[in-house]
Structure 1
Amino acid sequence: MRGALLSIQRNGVAIKGNIETKFDDPGFSSMNVELRTKLDLYGNIVRCKSMPGIQTRHQGIDVVLIRENMEGEYSNKEHEIDHGKIENLKIITREKSMKIAKYAFDYAVEHGRNKVTAIHKANIMKLGDGLFLDCCRQVACSYPQIEFNDMIVDNASMQMVSRPQQFDVLVLPNLYGNILSNIAAGLVGGAGVVAGVNIGDNYAVFEMGTRSSGKSLMGKNTANPMGMLLAGCDMLEYLGHEGHATMIRESVLNVVCNNKIQTPDIGGDATTTEVVQAIIDDLKPKTKSWSVSLVYM
């Protein structure tokens, strides 16, 4: 882990696969959480958008989930106070709640979004989630052009699976963001089709949009490469290579959505290798001019 941290600190960006966290070993700490904590990657952003050519129950979905990435139940502050009795501390601070709320509204303005919805359970957790909701409401006052509302997490989960088109940008505490981003990803095709990013003031780590390690797919050559490739496109855009990102993204979508060369998770029978090769073949004509220009340099 130390080598990976040093590399990211040196380069400022990284792209990574999902890392399995062993739930049956109390002494095994999550490397995902450690990475986010040590690099101060305070926000996780996942955009879930319906794609033509991928059959799902709902169409017309385009929701961005912005998750506070450092606090809540992921604070790693739990201990056994007596045999069979565990105490787990959920940490919510004004500082980090204000920061993620401002990021969500700034994102909405920058990307032409119209509404931000804060997800919470402040009716029960009146202090912790109440503080998060209060911070979101305070920040909303500085963005009168953006519609703001809030929704209790259990209702939001039901609304997400019944009428997801109502959502635009969601801002959520850590645990709720993890759950709802996985629900939203499932609605647009599953774990293999969505990209995500962990963002901080100094670093950005790009990855697939869900936390599934994909361990069950090892050695089968059936994993969907789409989410990781789209994460790479997002990284290229972050680094200022918009043209290259657009070119690769268009080839990915053309192969998977238009040509219907798809892995089994989204209804196809193609292998991972076949999908990747089809994307490479789609890209080749677009890069011919590169080799010509290199010859004349």
Structure 2
Amino acid sequence: MSRVYRICLIEGDGIGHEVVPAARHVLEATGLKCEFVEAEAGWETFERRGTSVPEETVEIVKSADATLFGAATSPTKKVEGFFGAIRYLRRRLDLFANVRPAKHHPVKGSTPGTDLVVVRENTEGLYVEQERRYAKGKVAIADRVITYDASYRIVEYALKLARTRRKQLALVHKANVLPLSDGLFLEAAYDAAKHYPDIQVSEVIVDACAMRLVRNPQSFDVLVMENLFGDILSDLTAGLVGGLGIAPSGNIGEQAAIFEPVHGSAPDIAGKGVANPTAAILSAAIMLDYLGEHETARRIEKAVDITLEQGPLTPDLGGKAGTLEFAKAVAAAL
């Protein structure tokens, strides 16, 4: 008897209301048995309810086998009582591994041969949001927190992932300038690597890594790094394979996982039905990998590539198709 997966859907803000239903349409076409339950989070939720992540949303995510999140809006200025929905969920549920694959797809601007994964530590670094001002507001200081345990845990995750791929892991750092914090990251990394002698481990300084990614992305397999470096470089790797519109990601912890497209809420096109759902659909494929449904995940990836190659395409890729029209084409290609 096949298993029934309980999948939480959080549309969030903006185009999240369009790309999540599109991804659901594709998931339903796979033939897998899924029970979908909807929850809310984001800026629109904050405006309605005074919190960006209601407690019942946290409980639904915890009880689900996995969660698919659309997009969230955050104001550029501090709003009293508001916290970023996805950042809160990452921290609250200890979703310590942010996993962002970058793989060549048949779209303009995608670099052939690219097939890598950025693994980003998701709980500390500058993203602990410990900032303050001194000197009558003229000096601002932000704490960057790096711990041995979190560094060991994220590198161990990346080592296990590398073992399922080409067995190569790059440790990305800036220890030449930050010898205490990034030095601690490297210390933990090499301690973890001792238990994985089959993995080829190398170091690369973050700025040199950025250049090498642009010039020779095919030389990388799995890259692991702290929070801010991962945030920046994963957007760079998305640019290598066609842009944020086709970039998926996962936030994975010991007890829960949330998968989301890398793009934002795109308020300029929200509600028009023209958003590209590729990233959300590929995030659903990563979610299926997490659930152990590897064959179905590969089917979705292949169906996406067929659609990207043959059309119809959304406006950002030079076509005229709407969000749901593209999703229906992917479902048909399955």
Q: Same fold (TM over 0.5)?
A: yes
1:176-214 C-alpha deviation (Å, 9 max, x unpaired) = 001011100111011111211100011111111x25332
Once residues 177 and 150 of structure 2 are traced to their aligned partners in structure 1, the CA distance between those partners, rounded to angstroms, is 21
Residue equivalent to 1:159:
212
Residue equivalent to 1:44:
98
Instruction: Report the aligned-residue RMSD.
Output: 1.8
Residue equivalent to 1:292:
none
Residue equivalent to 1:287:
none
Q: Which segments of 5 or more consecutive residues in structure 1 lack a partner in the other structure?
A: 284-297
Describe the SS at the equivalent of 1:16: strand
Percentage identity across aligned positions?
Answer: 35
Counterparts of 1:18-167 in structure 2 under 5 Å?
18-25=71-78, 27=80, 28-51=82-105, 53-56=106-109, 58-82=111-135, 83-109=137-163, 111-167=164-220
Give the TM-score of the pair, scaled to structure 2. Answer: 0.79
Instruction: Call closer, same or farther: CA 1:61–1:254 in 2, change over 3 Å.
Output: same
**CA positional deviation for 1:73:** 0.5
Contact 2:166 2:221 in 1 (8 A): yes
The equivalent position to 2:307 in structure 1, one of 255, 271, 290, is 255
Letter matched to residue 162 of structure 2: A
**CA positional deviation for 1:120:** 0.9
Q: Which segments of 5 or more consecutive residues in structure 2 lack a partner in the other structure?
A: 1-52
Give the TM-score of the pair, scaled to structure 1. Answer: 0.88
Once residues 105 and 281 of structure 1 are traced to their aligned partners in structure 2, the CA distance between those partners, rounded to angstroms, is 36
Counterparts of 1:134-283 in structure 2 under 5 Å?
134-208=187-261, 210-257=262-309, 259-283=310-334
Once residues 245 and 318 of structure 2 are traced to their aligned partners in structure 1, the CA distance between those partners, rounded to angstroms, is 12
**CA positional deviation for 1:127:** 0.6
**CA positional deviation for 1:26:** 5.6
Once residues 233 and 79 of structure 1 are traced to their aligned partners in structure 2, the CA distance between those partners, rounded to angstroms, is 41
Contact 1:15 1:206 in 2 (8 A): yes
**CA positional deviation for 1:137:** 2.2
Contact 2:110 2:242 in 1 (8 A): no
Instruction: Call closer, same or farther: CA 1:215–1:246 in 2, change over 3 Å.
Output: same
Describe the SS at the equivalent of 1:217: coil
**CA positional deviation for 1:228:** 0.5
**CA positional deviation for 1:260:** 3.0
**CA positional deviation for 1:215:** 2.4
**CA positional deviation for 1:57:** 5.7
Describe the SS at the equivalent of 1:65: strand
Contact 1:185 1:191 in 2 (8 A): yes
